[in-house]
Amino acid sequence: MRAGRRRLSRDERLAYLILLPALGAVFVIVTIPFVLVVIQSISADDGTLVGLRNYSRALSNPLLYDALRATATYSLIVLPIEILFGLGFALLVHRTVRRPGLRAAIYVLAILPLVVPPVAIGVVARLVYAPSYGVLNVILERFGAIHQEINWLGDPNLAMLAVASVDIWQWTPFVYLVLFSGLQTVPRESVEAAQLDGADWWAQFRYIDLAYLRPLFLLIIFFRLADVLRVFDHVFILTGGGPGTTTQLLSLYMYRVEFKYFDSGQAAALAVLVLVSFSILYRLISRALPLERT
Amino acid sequence: MTRPPIDRAAFLRSGLAAAGLGIAGILYGFPLYWLFVTSLKSKAELFSSTVHLLPHNPTFAAYSSVLIDRGFWVLLKNSVIVCFSTVVVTLVLGLIITYPITRLPVPPRLRVNILIWALSLRFLPPIAVVIPYFAIVRTLQLYDQPIALIGIYSLFNLPFAIWMLKGFLEEIPLELEDAALVDGASRWIAFWRVLLPLAAPGVMAAGIIVFTFAWSEFLFALILTATPNSQTFPVGVQGLVTQFEIIWNDMAASGVIAMALPLALMVIGRRYIVAGLTFGVIREK
């Protein structure tokens, strides 16, 4: 009994001995930039303190609101389409594809887009949408659908759609994979019972499948939102934020303020504002997540 | 046993499935096909006025142009070094943090707080971090050094590593280590000889996923590097895209090269990628 207790406390001490230095180091490394960025946000370029002037400049810049509007538009296009297509495809495969070999093949094909560098997908999108060489125009012309080149990346509305289509292309398979694995947890008995009761496929989806998928939708929204709000790579490659500022999402805007306008005070203020609003958003969303917490 | 008659619903269903899979196949296959075909074109063919959908006289000239004439093999080498170092640092740190919270008696609150904190890093937008990090890197004279990238990549991949390794370590019964401890082995020996070999497949999977994430990273690489001394391959690809006159076949070849390694690695890590992307919520079948 005594020996057992002593061993336990020795293990506990060992746990803290390992954890404290590691977590302490990571904590310091993560925290220093936050402290620095707050200092930078209340200083002028020469280091004198200017109070909240950088914040008021950041918030009164109309380009910030263009960026927020672009980010919102992008999210509102991308998230519903990805979820809808992902869900539709998951239901389709779940209900109609029975052969395990084919299911496994679809699984492998669906994970491939997830690991391809967004920069490389930006290259692919360039080859599809670009003027003169873009294959989309070439095909549309061959089929006689258009007689004049469409300037996919030069027209404000089309450029946003082109940029969004890349996101949809890359991440719909993720939604599919998550929802498909969710559908597989639906017990066969309840499906069969429902079918005996004469439930059509819609009732089966509405009353059985959806119950198992609901927590997964939250999960998808969490991870997709985290990614959509940080999108940079493929937009930078495909349009660079243009034409004008129509596809200048928040990340691209902040990049431009810091590294093109060299306005580090305003960039730091933006960074602080983003960090604060994101941690609030994180708190709101993460509470609802179905993660195991033990 | 007689075969059930083919009913119309089943026929309709398989038609629907074929249509769905076919459309998806074209939407995903054709752009990639176009990338590959373009990378096989010669410079002369790019200047012809009609665009050919099928390859004429395929050549690997664009690949040698990108890797050798433009010297991108150096960027490829940088990418491999940076990604490999990131994997090692991330896994070591990940194991240091997950070992105590899965194998040793720590208060559940501490454990949960560590996990939630790690998850919050996943939500952090890199652009907000890169601005202060850029200043630090400049102050420490690490600008344009691979080590600056290794540091930040390890930090940003740590949450994935913690959640994945936690899942794998939890699955290994505590009794196996306890048996070794009772036999007189030290904690370290029990970890090194008993736990790690059992966890090896999971650790490998986490390593592969961290490698592919680091391989794809672009924003930090764009900002923290300036020359082939530390530039990674995606930065080189970007250079080919944003120049004034795009050389299509070179650009396409660089895209193919950038994709090749992660796709190859996924052959090994395919069972774990969804678990990794969802922090272990969705487990492999």
Q: Residue B132's domain is classified under what CATH number? A: 1.10.3720.10
One domain for residues B53 and B118: no
Position B13 scores a pLDDT of: 80
Position B141 scores a pLDDT of: 92
Position A294 scores a pLDDT of: 47
Mutation pick from A94, A115, A222, A284 vs chain B, by most beta carbons of B within 10 Å, is A115
Residue A291: pLDDT over 70: no
One domain for residues B121 and B237: yes
One domain for residues B124 and B155: yes
Residues in A 238-267 with any Cβ partner in B closer than 8 A = 240, 250-251, 254-255, 258-259, 264, 267
Query: What pTM, to 2 d.p., does this model score?
Result: 0.90
Position B3 scores a pLDDT of: 55
Q: Is A49 on the interface with B (CB under 8 A)?
A: no
Does residue B283 belong to any structural domain of this protein? no
Does residue B178 belong to any structural domain of this protein? yes
pLDDT higher at A269 or B118 = A269
One domain for residues B159 and B46: no
Does residue B14 belong to any structural domain of this protein? yes
- Residue B167 near residue B280 (C-beta atoms within 8 A): yes
Query: A96 vs B16: CB contact, 8 Å cut-off?
Result: yes
Position B182 scores a pLDDT of: 86
Chain A residues close to B177, C-beta within 8 Å = none
Chain B residues close to A264, C-beta within 8 Å = 131, 135
Question: Which tokens sit at B269?
Answer: 């890590």
Position B283 scores a pLDDT of: 65
Chain A residues close to B222, C-beta within 8 Å = 236
Number of structural domains chain B divides into: 2
One domain for residues B253 and B131: yes
**Domain C-terminal end among B37, B61, B85:** B61
Query: B106 vs A89: CB contact, 8 Å cut-off?
Result: no
**Domain C-terminal end among B21, B41, B61:** B61
Does residue B200 belong to any structural domain of this protein? yes
Q: Which of B105, B212, B248 sits opposite A12 (nearest CB)?
A: B105
Domain that holds residue B40: 8-61
**Domain C-terminal end among B18, B37, B61:** B61
Task: Nearest chain B residue to A15 by CA: give it.
Answer: B100
Smallest CA–CA distance, residue B31 to chain A, in Å, is 6
Q: Is A24 on the interface with B (CB under 8 A)?
A: no
One domain for residues B15 and B122: no
Q: Is A120 on the interface with B (CB under 8 A)?
A: yes
One domain for residues B177 and B213: yes
Residue A49: pLDDT over 80: yes
Mean pLDDT for chain A? Answer: 88
Q: In this predicted model, what pLDDT tens digit does every residue of A123-163 receive, in sequence order?
A: 999 999 988 788 899 889 888 888 888 899 999 999 999 99
Question: Which tokens sit at A187?
Answer: 């017990």
Low-confidence ranges of chain B (pLDDT < 50): 1, 285
Q: In this predicted model, what pLDDT tens digit does every residue of A210-228 receive, in sequence order?
A: 888 988 898 899 899 999 9
Position A161 scores a pLDDT of: 96
Chain B residues close to A135, C-beta within 8 Å = 30-31, 34, 51, 53
Considering only A5-9, A111-115, B32-36, B275-279, which range has the smallest mean pLDDT? A5-9
Does residue B203 belong to any structural domain of this protein? yes
Smallest CA–CA distance, residue B69 to chain A, in Å, is 20
pLDDT higher at A12 or B29 = B29
Q: In this predicted model, what pLDDT tens digit does every residue of A190-206 receive, in sequence order?
A: 888 888 888 787 888 88
pLDDT-based confidence at A8, cuts 50/70/90? low
Does residue B67 belong to any structural domain of this protein? no
ipTM of model: 0.89
Position B284 scores a pLDDT of: 54
One domain for residues B263 and B156: yes
Considering only A5-14, A147-156, A176-185, A247-256, which range has the smallest mean pLDDT? A5-14
pLDDT-based confidence at A242, cuts 50/70/90? confident
Chain B residues close to A85, C-beta within 8 Å = none
Does residue B162 belong to any structural domain of this protein? yes
Position B147 scores a pLDDT of: 94
Q: Name all domains of chain A by residue range, CATH numbers in brackets.
A: 62-286 (1.10.3720.10)
Q: Is A184 on the interface with B (CB under 8 A)?
A: yes
One domain for residues B16 and B108: no
Does residue B120 belong to any structural domain of this protein? yes
Position A68 scores a pLDDT of: 96
Chain A residues close to B134, C-beta within 8 Å = 258
One domain for residues B100 and B238: yes
